[in-house]
Structure formats: structure tokens, C-alpha cells
Amino acid sequence: MRRREPERRRRERGRPRLPLRRSLLGRLLIVSVLVASCAVAATAWLAVQTTSGAIRQEQGQDLSSDAKIYNTLLGYAATHPRWEDVEDTARELARTSQRRIVLTTEDRRPLFDSAGASSVAPLPAQASAVVDPLSVDTVLVPEAMTAGSDRIDPRAVGPFLLPANERTELRSITEKQVACLNSVGVAADVVDSPSGRPRIEFVRNDTDRDLEFKCVAQNSGATLTEKKALDELNTLADACLKRQGHKGATLNLDLSWDRGYGQITAAGKQPAEKQSAEKYPSEKYPAEKYPTDKKAAAAVERGDDRAIASCVGSARREQLTDHVAAPALLFIDGTGAVSVPGFDLSPSNTARIVGVTALVLALTVGVSVIAGARLVRPLHALTGAAQRMRDGLDSAPVPVGPDNEIGRLAAAFNDMAVHRARLEEQRKVMVSDVAHELRTPLSNIRGWLEAAQDGLADPDPAFVSSLLEEAVQLQHIIDDLQDLGAADVGALRLHPEPVYADELLAQVAAAYQGPAETAGVTLTVAAPKPGPPGPTLYADPVRLRQAVSNLVSNAVRHTPSGGRVTLRSYRTGPGQGDEVALEVSDTGAGIPADDIPHVFDRFWRAEKSRNRSTGGSGLGLAIVLKLAEAQGGTASVVSTEGKGSVFTLRLPAAPAPAEGPAEAAAGPDGPDLINMTL
């Protein structure tokens, strides 16, 4: 080994180093640069997205503020006939929104300016919105907040505004109805509409319609004020229809009309009462009064109804003109609002970004170099240890670092080195054992032949028998080694077929009855009671007999005179798909607990002597294990020192017909046993 060490060092010095691009350190550096670049790009993208989101959020806040200003001023215009007293409302809006609010007439005559009369800032060419309660901007105010499709602000009620006495009377009736609903478990409350008429608002939509109609059966009807306003509106609508050549229609308080085929609202839809009558008909809403959906849909499609809806909308605007403020232009200036600064990619800012990027890259590369060096160091140690192992030199254990991938790799390498050393030692012992086992019969054969050649021994039958015995022993060892080699490479040829376990055990027992009697050992087979055949397994009968024979031979050899060796078979589970167990038990000296894990190792022997009566070659149990595994089974041993051992082979059971009651009644430990001396 000392002579080989300089040669190994010369080879290591002559071996070219890996290029940086192929080394682990180089790959780590490349990955680190890529990660850093991606991190910088992601940070820049995140900054842009965050800033853009902030800008969009600010724009959304401005739009929300504009909508609030517009809706407030729109409500003022819907409830006031003029803009004269809007100053307090507009000034409060300007204060809370920190925006400049300007109201002008349609010809741009100023009505209000939150900046004061001293402001000389010119107004934009286009107004932010037109404040007209009779034509609501649905962009700033959702269409759901307008009264149907006519875009009239619902707060503009005009002559429909109820006086105090009528409000009080209607509220009293509505409160009684709400109390009735609450008493039957329907949650409801009183809500005032813009005209002052109270209405019932249900907390949940899944109310019981029968209970609802029972409590609201008393209809308050239209008041004197509402009848007067409704007659005026009906007159205006009829005049419009007459001009267009259509018949007049009678309007209801909810601005629906009755044409004889069902009520239709100004929006071209059936009222809620009609839909309720279809599902919950009652005396107040009989089903025959309201046609089916098909008829109502056909009525809506008629041009008369579209004309009525258009005239009702025109009549409402004409009726409300004197009760609402005139349209005004609304200007909302951003002065005083918080603005989001944009990007200023000046040379200094560009240099700052490049500097920060370079710093991030430098830090990333530096950290990667340090981490890579710490990572590569144990790999170099592993590489050196592997090269020493390849050269046949003793390798010291590699230092095991923290519990990570490299540490686990080092621990696995140390385990592999220990296992390799153990295998190498076993190989040396095996070579020595094989040489000894082969030398003994060969030496005997050579000695007898030389004696015959020198005339010292006569070639009589005893002479030939002795030579044959030695040749058979030699052939037995060679066959065992050949079987192990074939099993290791998966080249063991098997011919499986159904085998009766009891018959196979009887054949093996008969073959070893002579050696057992010579050793003074009683060899028995535990067989089932007379009746159906015993368990059947699926295996190669020749190889299975070989495995059982090795177990029996081993048991007879290690059982003292007067002892007993018993063979038996049984199923390990009910039905098809279970296993069949073959047991060989003896009353010998047993195996120490420390030696049990090694009994199936090659050339391992509890008795280290080479005595033919007890020693053996140490290959029999190893062959048993290989033959069992090759046929899909297992081999195991249970032994108590001083009391004997039990070797068990478990192999797949062969598919068989339903078993008779005798075998089906057998327990998990097998059938009732009868000792049969062979």
C-alpha cells in the first residue's frame, strides 16, 4: 500500500480540474446570478405595480368623491326649485373633499364657487357633470338609484310631496301593519319614501306571502294630494298619447297603467302585485285579474305600451319642471387633493438604480461564493475518500456535518464504507472457506490416488466408495456455489407447479431417515388426520425439496443423540391467496440470540469447527433463503438457546377447490397433528 500511495498522488496531480461552468460552485454562482437578477426584476415590477395600484386607488377615491359630490348636489336640485341656498351644502362638500367645486348655469353664469369671488382660475372647457334631476348621469349614479328607465331622480317628487297630516295618517296605518307582521314572526320596518309616504320594508325576502297579505289587506289608497298630482300627470300623459294617435291610459299611484290585459309599469314591467298574485292568489289579487306571463310579455311588446311609457316619462318631466332646480354645470377641480408622484428617471435616479442593482448582485455573488465553498468542502472530502476506496486503500471516516443533504450523504458514505469493509472481510473469509472446503476432498482424493499409484492401496470397492464420497462432497459444494451465483443474478431456473406439502415432507423425511437413525435422532412428520389432502402450494418441487432437505440436514446435524426433528405444514390464512408454511423444528442446542440475524449469511456457522458432523460448509441456509425468495416466499427462524430451533418456509398457496370440513375446522396453527415415525 505504501508503494501505491505516491502513484495515486501522481494521478491526482495529473488529473485536470473541472472547468468552472461544470463544477458545482460554478453552477451555484450561475444560479445565484439568475436568482439575483430575477429578484431585482421582480422588485422593480413590484414597485411599478404598487405605484400603479396607488395611482388607480387615488383615481378611484377621486371618482368616489366626485360621485358623492354629484349625488349630494343632485339631491338638492331634486328637492329645491332654485339654486339660491346651495352655498352651505356645496361649501361643506368642498371642505370635506378638499376639492374646488364650481356650479354654473348652462350658459356658464356662476352660481357658486368654493374658491371665492377672488378666484381667477379658468374653468375647464368641459364640465365634470351636468346636475339635472330630470336626466341623471348613470355613470356617477347607478341606474338602480333612478326611478325606472326614465333617468329621473327618485327624490324629485314635486306635487306628490305629502303634507304633514297625510303623512301622519298613512304612518299610523303602516305602523299597524308592521306590528301585525311582527306579531306573526315576519320581521319588517317602516321606511319613508321621498314623497313622505311610508312603506313597509321586509328584513328578509323569504317571508310568508299569506301572512303578508293578511296583515297588509287594508290598503291605505291614494291621498287627496296624490290623487290631485296623479290626475294632473294622467292629463299630461293622455295629451301626449293623443298627439301620437294612441288611446289614453289610466295611471296608478305606482305609475303603472291598466289596458285590460294587466298592469304595466312605466319601465315596461309588470308590478310586484301581479307577480305575487301568480304565486299567492288571494281575494285582493285574484289570478284571473292578471294574465299569464306569456300574455303580459306579448302586451309589453306592443308599440302602444312603449308609447305610453315614453309619454309618462315626458309628462313626469313636464310636471316636475317647476318643482326642481334648473340644470347646472358642475366643475370639480383637483386643487388641494393629494397627488401621487410619478417616476423621474433622471441621470441621478438611473445611477441610483444601477448602483443598488450592482450592490445586490455583489452581495448575492459573495454570499453564494461563501455558501458554495462550505458546500463543496465536504464534497471534496467525499471525493478523496471514494478515490482512496477505489485504489484499495483504507479510508478514514468522512466528517459528518449538520443534518442536511451533505451531512446525510457523508453518513451514508461512512455506512457504505463500513459495509464494504465488512463485505471485503466476508469475501476473504469466504475465499478461505471455499479453498478449505475444496482442499479437503481434493486432498483426500489425491492421497488415495497417490497411494494406489504407489501400490500402497488396493482399488477395492471400499477404496472406490471413499473416492466417490469425497467427489460427491466436492460436487455438493460446487453445486451450492453455482446455485447461489444463479440466484444472485436472477438466472435460477424454476418450474413451479402445484405441490402437496405433506407428500413433499414425507419424501424428504424418507430420504434422511438413514442419517437420522445413524445419529440417534427421531425424524417425524406431523401429518393431518385421515381425510382431505393437506395444503397445496405453488412452487418448483425440485428446488423446494432442495430447500427443505437443507433444513432437515442442518437440523439432524445439530440435534444430539436422543433428540427429535419434526416436520409439518399448515396454511397461514383462510381461502385462496394465502400462504403455506413448512416447518422444520428440532430439539438441539439452539442458536444464541446474537447469532440469529446471521444464520442465513453465507459461510456463517455457529460452530466454527470444520468437523463434518457439525461444521458443514455454511452455504445450506443461504441457499434456503435464496430459493424461498426466488419463489415468492420467505424463510425465518425462531430459536431458544438450549431448547432447539424452528425454521419456517412460507410460500404462496396454490389455487384449490373448496376445502372439506375437516381442514376448514383447523385453527390458524394448522391441523391436529399425529407424529409418524419413518
Phi, psi of 499 (to 5 degrees): -130, 130
Return the pLDDT at 387: 82
Name the range with the highest mean pLDDT among 348-352, 384-388, 527-531: 384-388
pLDDT score recorded for residue 217:
63
Q: What is the pLDDT of residue 59?
A: 59
Q: Is 39 exposed, middle or buried (0-12, 13-18, 19+ CB in 10 A)?
A: middle
Q: 206-247, pLDDT tens digit by residue?
A: 555 666 666 776 666 788 888 898 889 889 888 888 888 888
567, pLDDT greater than 90: yes
Q: How confident is the model at residue 196 (pLDDT cuts 50, 70, 90)?
A: confident
Tell me the mean pLDDT in the region 168-179.
85
Cα 281 to Cα 277: distance, rounded to the nearest angstrom: 4
Q: Which residues contact 265 (CB under 8 A, 6 or more apart)?
A: 148, 254, 255, 256, 271
Range in 190-194, 453-457, 629-633 with the lowest mean pLDDT: 453-457
CA 101/CA 127 separation, integer angstroms: 11
What is the model's pLDDT at position 645? 93
- Phi, psi (degrees; rounded to nearest 5) at 593: -60, -35
Q: Is 616 left (phi over 0), alpha (psi -120 to 50) or beta?
A: left
* pLDDT cut 70: percent of the chain above it: 68
Inter-residue contact 109 to 328 (CB < 8 Å) = no
Grid cell at residue 514: 438413514
pLDDT category at 576 given cuts 50, 70, 90 is very low
531 in Cβ contact with 660 (< 8 Å): yes
pLDDT in tens, 428-447: 766 776 776 677 678 778 88
Helices (H), ranges, 266-392: 272-279, 293-300, 303-320, 347-390
Q: Which runs of E-coded beta strand occur in 528-666?
A: 536-539, 564-571, 579-586, 634-640, 644-652
First to last CA, the chain: 60
Q: How far is CA 223 from the centre of its chain?
A: 66
Q: 5: pLDDT confidence band, cut at 50, 70 and 90?
A: very low
Backbone CA torsion sign across 313, 314, 319, 320: positive
Percent of the chain with pLDDT over 90: 8
d(CA 297, CA 303): 12
pLDDT of residue 624: 87
468-505 pLDDT, tens digit per residue, is 877 876 776 777 677 766 666 666 677 888 998 888 99
pLDDT category at 417 given cuts 50, 70, 90 is confident
Helix (H, G, I), strand (E, B) or coil at 444: helix
Q: How confident is the model at residue 467 (pLDDT cuts 50, 70, 90)?
A: confident
Classify each residue of 10-19 as buried b or exposed e, where b means 16 or more C-beta atoms within 10 Å of its C-beta. eeeeeeeeee
E strand or H helix that includes residue 621:
helix 620-630
Q: What angle do CA 505, 510, 513 make, to 5 degrees?
A: 120
DSSP H or E run through 524: strand 522-527
Strand pairing report for 522-527 and 564-571 = parallel
Nearest to 131, CA basis, from 108, 148, 149, 106: 106
Indicate whether 589 pLDDT > 60: yes
Are the C-beta atoms of 591 and 548 separated by less than 8 Å? no
* Residue 301 phi, psi dihedral angles, 5° rounding: -75, -15
pLDDT in tens, 597-642: 888 877 666 655 545 445 556 677 888 888 888 888 999 999 988 8
What sign does the CA torsion over 310, 314, 317, 320 have?
Answer: negative
Q: Which of 311, 319, 327, 323 is nearest to 150 (CA)?
A: 311
Cα 135 from Cα 150, distance rounded (Å): 8
